[in-house]
Amino acid sequence: MKIMPNQNNRQIKIFCLKDSKDFRDYELLDTGDGEKLERFGLYIFVRPYEDAVWKKTLPESEWNKADGKFWSSKQGAKAGWKMKNEQGESLLKKWEMEYKGIKFLARPTSFRHLGFFPEHAVHWDFIEERIKSAEVGLPQKVKFLNLFGYTGVASLFALRAGAEVTHLDASKQVLNWAKENQKLSDLQNLPMRVIEDDAIKFLEREAKRGNKYDVIIMDPPKFGRGPKGEVWKIEEMLPKLLSAVHQVLSDQPLFVILTSYADDSSSLTTGYALEEMMKDFGGHVEAGELCILEKSNGRVIPLANTAVWSII
């Protein structure tokens, strides 16, 4: 990992897997001309990556071998997946992936994602390592809350580490996916609550109940809707979210992770927001970019802004 100072003497951290070989089922093969070429298990896909303003490293012949491509509306084509091989229909169904013994299902979705974010793997490692270390000296299980939890891969690493997990998302479909992943990883007998709810409404009720969490991770969308049609806009709702999160933290939290894919946000603003929320707890914040190592030329490709508060 590299750390770079900025003009305000604040350190910008690059969150990236130290060894990409740890993720045998995923590779970022190449980027360029507004796209990225990725391998998900046995399949290769092309997806938009608007920040890739440089030229592709691999020849077009390699890109043309992809099993499918997601077209965005900005590319002048009808948005959605276009499969290029005879297995087109089967590729719209789920297949099994694995990272360090945690198994989960992948599938092309209408939002260009495939059911997980590979750049989060560095956070998965952090989550499991920190919770395992904390469990040794605590009289009770670490209480872990995953807001906007999607299909639950991060929750499974916390669960395997020994935490008591609460996994929340507004989509019933992805929560069912999370349950499938839990069963696939043979963790179905461990304590994970799976809840369909609006994040802020849930946090407000938890605060009234007096429920507290030692770890909270959150990956709020730029725009979305809750289960009852609640509108979510990150630029309007993030301050309210962080205030509500503060109310349900235990007296001695272990760590908090905030990740943002908003186009107009930065790692500095993400870090400042988390630092302000956690100012009563001491500790420190590391802010930076979630990245993936590009196989074609070894570049570190940034994909999201993130900030991590921890007491250590």
How large is the average pLDDT for residues 93-108? 96
Q: How far apart are CA 79 and CA 68, in angstroms?
A: 13
The percentage of the chain sitting over the pLDDT mark of 90, rounded to a whole number, equals: 75
Q: Ramachandran region of residue 187, left (φ > 0), alpha (ψ -120 to 50) or beta?
A: alpha
pLDDT over threshold 60, residue 6 = no
Model confidence pLDDT, tens digit, residues 37-58: 999 999 999 999 999 999 999 9
Task: Read off the DSSP letter of residue 141.
Answer: P
Model confidence pLDDT, tens digit, residues 210-237: 999 999 999 988 755 555 665 556 667 8
Q: How confident is the model at residue 12 (pLDDT cuts 50, 70, 90)?
A: confident
What residues does 293 pair with on adjacent strands?
300
How large is the average pLDDT for residues 117-125? 97
Q: How far apart are CA 207 and CA 200, in angstroms?
A: 11
Q: How confident is the model at residue 84 (pLDDT cuts 50, 70, 90)?
A: confident
Average pLDDT, the chain: 89
pLDDT over threshold 80, residue 279 = yes
DSSP string, 73-133: GGGTS-SEEEE-STTHHHHTS-EEEEETTEEEEE---TTS--SS-GGGHHHHHHHHHHHHH
Q: What is the pLDDT of residue 228?
A: 61
Q: How far apart are CA 297 and CA 107, in angstroms?
A: 27
**Structure tokens belonging to residue 253:** 């939290």
Structural domains in the chain, CATH included, are 3-93 (2.60.40.1180), 118-310 (3.40.50.150)
- Greater confidence (55 vs 88) lies with 55
Inter-residue contact 172 to 157 (CB < 8 Å) = no
Q: How far apart are CA 261 and CA 109, in angstroms?
A: 17
Q: What is the pLDDT of residue 202?
A: 97
How large is the average pLDDT for residues 60-71? 95
- Greater confidence (39 vs 238) lies with 39
Q: Which of the residue ranges 84-88, 175-179, 203-207 would you say has the lowest mean pLDDT?
A: 84-88
* Closest listed residue to residue 242, CA positions, set 266, 223, 218, 212: 218
Q: What is the pLDDT of residue 172?
A: 95
Q: What is the pLDDT of residue 7?
A: 39
